[in-house]
């Protein structure tokens, strides 16, 4: 059984640029959620994808968008990067049906915006 894998592990971008982060869900999991974790803070929910559609969104602007693919992997896209977007971006996969438990996190992508 493979866990959640994220790529890249680290990334440096310039303000105004666009970035795409990738996540492969754990085997058997069909739901992917993305979280933003600022330094010294707890993760904040961005959005969740189930059956290739957005299924819940946190308090993030539309320049944060995502995709889920038929194999349940997912992408997080951020347009018009701002300095405050610098954070650790975490992907978590879970099994939607009977969804107590199984929120497995990847190691994250550390994004630095300069």
Partner 1 sequence: GESVGLHLPTLSVQEGDNSIINCAYSNSASDYFIWYKQESGKGPQFIIDIRSNMDKRQGQRVTVLLNKTVKHLSLQIAATQPGDSAVYFCAEKNGGSQGNLIFGKGTKLSVKP
> Is residue 103 a contact residue for partner 1 (CB under 8 A)?
yes
Spatial distance between the Cα atoms of 57 and 47, rounded to a whole number of angstroms:
4
Helices (H), the chain: none
> Is residue 90 a contact residue for partner 1 (CB under 8 A)?
yes
Segment interacting with partner 1 (CB under 8 A) among 14-22, 43-51, 61-69, 78-86? 43-51
> Is residue 112 a contact residue for partner 1 (CB under 8 A)?
no
By beta-carbon proximity to partner 1, the closer residue of 78 and 93 is 93
Spatial distance between the Cα atoms of 72 and 100, rounded to a whole number of angstroms:
19
Instruction: Give the one residue of 1, 62, 84, 98 binding partner 1; rule: CB under 8 A.
Output: 98
Give the pairing of strands 10-13 and 109-113. Answer: parallel
Smallest distance, partner 1 to C-beta of residue 31, A: 6
* Residue partners of 67: CB distance under 8 A and separation at least 6: 49, 52, 74, 75, 77
- The 58-87 contact track toward partner 1, x by CB under 8 A, reads x-----------------------------
């Amino acid at each position: 059984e493979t866990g959640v894998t994220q790529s890249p592990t680290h990334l440096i971008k310039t303000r105004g640029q666009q970035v795409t982060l990738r996540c492969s869900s754990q085997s058997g999991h069909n739901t992917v959620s993305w979280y933003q974790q600022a330094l010294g803070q707890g993760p904040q929910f961005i959005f969740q994808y189930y059956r290739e559609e957005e299924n819940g969104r946190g308090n993030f602007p539309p320049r944060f968008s995502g995709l889920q693919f038929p194999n349940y992997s997912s992408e997080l896209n951020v347009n018009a990067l701002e300095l405050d977007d610098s954070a650790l971006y975490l992907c978590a996969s879970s099994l939607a049906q009977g969804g107590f438990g199984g929120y497995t996190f990847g190691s994250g992508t550390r994004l630095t915006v300069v």
